[in-house]
A = this chain, B = another copy of it.
Amino acid sequence: MVEYIAFDADDTLWHHETQFSEAHAKFELLMQEYLTGSYDSQYLFDTEIRNLKHYGYGVKSFGLSMIETALELTDGRISPEHIRFLVNVTKEMLAAPVQVLPEVEAVLDELSGDYPLMVITKGDLLDQESKFVRSRLSEYFRCIEVVSEKDPFSYSRILRRHRIRPENFLMVGNSLRSDVVPVLEIGAQAVYIPRRQTWGREYVQMDEPRPRLYVELEHIGQLPEWLEARQLAA
């Protein structure tokens, strides 16, 4: 039986990747002022991935990676004024309004009456907490847990801390890599609700066709009905 439900935040509860896509687009426009050849967006992605071990996830990390990539791609010709533009893009991302995804609030309203809910998200601590408050969704949740990496270890630690048994825990999110695979690995359950835009880093290689241990829903609005059927069957 599901007794405790946790939701991923970015691109599960609110828009996230759109903001990064927009920043990538601004970055591309800027680079085109400098480059003679065509701009390859892979450069910025590669810098982001390379810097993950230094910076971790989040907007500040992205900002520092934009600046680094700009310096590399322009061979140091980028103007200081344009560096300042990139700093400002970073700050605007941190202050941008949080756009809650469709049907999220209705689903949380319904489920929070029957289950304790929590948010488990990775990224910048202050940024995630601030978005949680700005989203106005915090009243539906018992707590928010911000982790530096969503792996089996971090999920286990959260469950232990809240005295939840894995078999009673359900994770809902848009990333197989972060919200589904590590959750299945500790013996808990997961609902996968893909978003059209998912960051390259979030894709997971499934080595072999494995039995569907998780359910995939098209839309968060389908969650309450699925859950009800699931509980009746249990």
Contact = CB atoms under 8 A, between A and B. Distances in A.
A125 interface: yes
Nearest to A60: B60
11 contacts: A54-B94, A54-B95, A56-B124, A57-B126, A60-B64, A63-B64, A68-B84, A68-B87, A71-B80, A125-B146, A125-B148
A127 B52 CA distance: 11
Interface residues of A, number: 34
**Copies of this chain held together in the complex:** 2
Contacts of A222: none
Nearest to A55: B60
Contacts of A67: 67, 83, 87
What are the 6 tightest A-B residue pairs by CB atom distance, in nearest-first order? A56-B126, A76-B80, A126-B148, A60-B60, A125-B125, A125-B148
